Amino acid sequence: MALDPVAYQPYADPDDFIREVTDFIWVNRAIGHIRENYEPDSIVHGSLGTAVGRDEVIQGTLMRIAETPDRVGQAEDVVWEQRGDDAFLSSHLVLSIDPATGFRSRTVASCLYRRGRMVEEWIGRDGLAIALQTGQDPDDLARVKKFRGFTGSMTRPPLPDITREGDSGPRPDDFRPEVEMVLEFLERVWNQRELEQVQNFWERDLVLHDIGDRTVIRPEGYRRSLLNLLRRFPAATFQWRDVQTHHDERYAGLRIAVTWKMDGVYDGLPDYGPLTGSPVEVLGVSQFLVQRGRLVREMRLYDDLAIRTQILSARGDTAYDSPNIY
């Protein structure tokens, strides 16, 4: 089934659509264009929970641009996949660099566009990278935020077979062996803790771009990165919410994006201060590069500051609840 051009007009294709619309809003400052780009009742699932309605997106975008006006972001990857004849799901990886403050960070936005309008979005942001590179205390930044919690599709159990249908709807049966390989890896290594299996799915010379603008290499580096996440929440479980694929030589071949959610309890190692035994929810997106049937690279995005916000709130250590979570 060919994708109807109404899904991405007036641009050449979904990749061109995503890159140009994002530049128009964030670089050209056309913040009001969000009214044309987003449905009035659009849904955005971010690190602090779910926001409904485009007004919060407009206000949040304005504040982010005003806070770091020298920041320039551009697409590192756009993993898009068709959803029916008039829609697509894109996983847009943005690299942002701010020459004024010197920070570099990444964001990934997985957006469901129908007939050229955004209807639902899932965002992973690396807020920790900005805090560390600008000399700010991550806890201080987390204290002025509020975790609203998730609503809508994120409150339902994940669908049983996201190779066929995820939160964004039924998907084409593209690159099934590679998709099944990625999901098997995630289930065995992330959920079942079979960390010795990393080398059975990955090339030896693997690269993981992790939060905090950290890059690790080799299977042991990957294992330690996962251990670092789980050591605070040792019984945490992961849900696989959605998947999309796209092959393009411009981006080195086949990429597979997975939207995931972690549910844990802060009862492990006290990296965030005294343990609270309180629940923590983490929304994340990972983009995998697959070459010759093996995993080569992962871009993993989730917000460590949102984790801190939940823990600090459970401890009663909060200063102000910001009404905008975009």
- Tokens representing 193? 């803790």
Compute CA distances 156 → 50, 105, 207, 241, whole Å. Answer: 13, 31, 33, 10
pTM of the model: 0.95
Residues in the chain with pLDDT < 50?
none
Looking at the DSSP bridge assignments, the partners of residue 77 are 93
pLDDT tens-digit series, residues 12-32 = 999 999 999 999 999 999 999
Radius of gyration of the chain (CA): 19
Q: Which domains does the chain have, with CATH numbers?
A: 5-143 (3.10.450.50), 162-314 (3.10.450.50)
pLDDT (tens digit per residue) in 60-115: 999 999 999 999 999 999 999 999 999 999 999 999 999 999 999 999 999 999 99
Cα 222 to Cα 130: distance, rounded to the nearest angstrom: 22
